[in-house]
A and B are shown apart, each in its own frame.
Chain A
Amino acid sequence: MTQTSAPTIATRNIGAASRKKKRDAAIYYLMGLPAALLFSIFYFVPFIANLRYSLTRWDRITDPEFVGMKNFVNLLTNDDLFFKVLGNNLRFTFLVVLFQTVFSLFFAILLVRNTKFNILLRTLYFFPTILSSVSVGMIWLYIYDPNYGALNLFFNRVGLEAFALNWLGSETSALYAIAFTQVWFHTGQMIVIYIAGLQQIPQELYEAAEMDGATRWQQFKNVTWPMSIPTTVVVMAYTTIQSFRAFDLIFSMTQGGPNNASSIFAVMIYQTVFNELRIGYAAAQSIFFVLVLVLITLLQRKVLGSGKER
């Protein structure tokens, strides 16, 4: 009797356990479902639908007309604006990534120790991050104003009238002026990321370098820089993404003007939809936008990845 009943109980337990397992799995599905559904319907499916729109000519008044690859051909062969904006976007990203990375590393080194004074300054430098892009845009619109702005007021007071330019109104300087604002906006955030990275560097390395009589510059070159490359990868990746997403800032400062000199991809797409009512064409522009983003991300990984191995 006992010999037969023991395995029965065991099987029953296994049965119960596996039933509970199945029920648990079902509950996990249910917990993940709402987020997955919402995200798929309102973000992922539209992303795919964009591919279909890109093959049409459509103004949202008449029905869409299928035109095949015509939009893409037009973009690549017959659209000066597209290449101008591509160039702007790449220049903007390059400048912002370069200066934001250099500045944030520089200030992170200055503020790496957790003294009260340093923490206070980090909090101050971080401050712009909590503001909206529109607010930051409005502040800098005032600063850059050619007639009343703080910047030109300053240049005129100190006798540097030659520097008192129409910063946002001129095709040569608008993009650079916005790039400076973007760096002002986000450097504080990157300083914090760098400091976290720098504080991971073993103190013994610096002690050893000091024993060898290394100067500050040599310490930076041989210890700080190589040891902070992983953080640099993160900072550059974040900065690149942020610079591609600078729509809010650029839209509130110049709307891409003058003469599209400060336009980037997102601004161009918005204007193709709302000013020109060319839905299909805007969809094709978005697809190029994704391609450029993917390409830059891969390139960056490759360049910095090989740097890491070195």
Chain B
Amino acid sequence: MIYRSTRIFALTLFAILIIAPSFIVTVGSFKTTSEVYTKPLSLPENWTLDNYRYLFEVSNVARPFVNSTVVTLSSVIITLILASMCAYAISRMITVTGKILFILFTVGLAIPGQVNIVPIFILFNDFNLTNKLSGLVLINVVTTLPISIFILTAFFKELPKEMFEVSQVDGASPWRTYRSIALPLSRPALGATSIFLFVITWNELLFPLLLITDSEKRTLPLTLLSFRGEFFSNDSMIFTALMVASIPMVLMYLFMQKSFISGLTAGAVKG
């Protein structure tokens, strides 16, 4: 009895802690700021799209939205290609090289990007890679390679060796075996990896903050941050920007909850 009532109480409390802020933000984006402050939990008296209109017409939120989309899609695709190739090679190499490669990326996994703030800032300035979307793609690929290779190597090692050996005996090159056998088999692992890559790349703040100063090249998280100065004490505008920035991920989550949960849990170590 005590257990059941504690259970219901705890579950409800946590649910409220998640639902209430989400609700306030969602309905708040259709309200005026003063209505957000006085009656955060009530539905808007007059539903208005003014905030959205202002955000797209005056603040040009479409620009960072497109930037984020381009950067995220390119980063995820390039990472998946490079990581799956490398992971397959590591899992099939019997020599020391495979081990050395694996150790390189495992050590890399242990170095958080934040430790590299100084040298990456300098290197990217020297190579003229700042204020470029391609520079962001490059740093995203580099920082997500270790975790992706880690997950995919584990997956490839679990697959029965015979599948690859048979194909090799038939005279197929490793490249063909990778393309026609390993890749199709690893679709679930690639799917899970791509989901967390999507989420962390879309949400990344640190490196855009280091490398982008040109407002035309800003990604969504950077833009949100700058809106805070621009719309100071105008929370309904902030909420609207939050909605725009989060909607792609929220929609994907609604339709693919299971893959999102398993994918993001596999990548949890990346934070």
Contacts and interface: CB of A to CB of B under 8 A. Distances in A.
Contact of A247 (B116, B206, B241, B268): B206
A221 interface: no
B17 interface: yes
A46 B249 contact: no
Contact of A286 (B95, B117, B250): B117
B129 to A, nearest CB: 9
Secondary structure at the A interface, as helix, strand, loop or mixed, is helix
Nearest to A49: B119
18 contacts: A32-B89, A38-B138, A49-B122, A60-B122, A123-B257, A124-B19, A126-B261, A140-B21, A150-B21, A150-B40, A196-B265, A247-B206, A251-B205, A252-B224, A252-B225, A265-B114, A282-B118, A283-B118
Contacts of B20: 150
Nearest to A280: B118
Interface in B19-41: 19-22, 24-25, 36-37, 40
Interface stretch (A3-11, A19-27, A199-207): A19-27
Contacts of A124: 15, 18-19
A245 interface: yes
B118 A286 contact: yes
A293 B86 contact: no
Interface in A232-270: 237-238, 241-242, 244-248, 251-252, 265-266, 269-270
Nearest to A150: B40
A249 to B, nearest CB: 9
Contacts of B163: none
Interface string B70-91: 0000000000001101101110
Contacts of A127: 18, 22, 253
Interface of B: 3, 7, 10-11, 14-15, 17-22, 24-25, 36-37, 40, 82-83, 85-86, 88-90, 92-93, 95, 97-98, 101, 104-105, 108, 110-123, 138-139, 141-143, 145-146, 149, 168, 171, 173-175, 178, 199, 202-206, 209-210, 220-221, 224-225, 228, 233, 235, 238-239, 241-242, 245-246, 249-250, 253, 257, 260-261, 264-265, 268-269, 271
A257 B238 CA distance: 21
B221 A132 contact: yes
B261 A123 contact: yes
A132 B203 contact: yes
Contacts of A28: 89, 92-93, 97-98, 174
B141 A46 contact: no
Interface string A133-150: 111001111110100101
A88 interface: no
Contacts of A32: 85-86, 89-90, 93, 97-98, 101
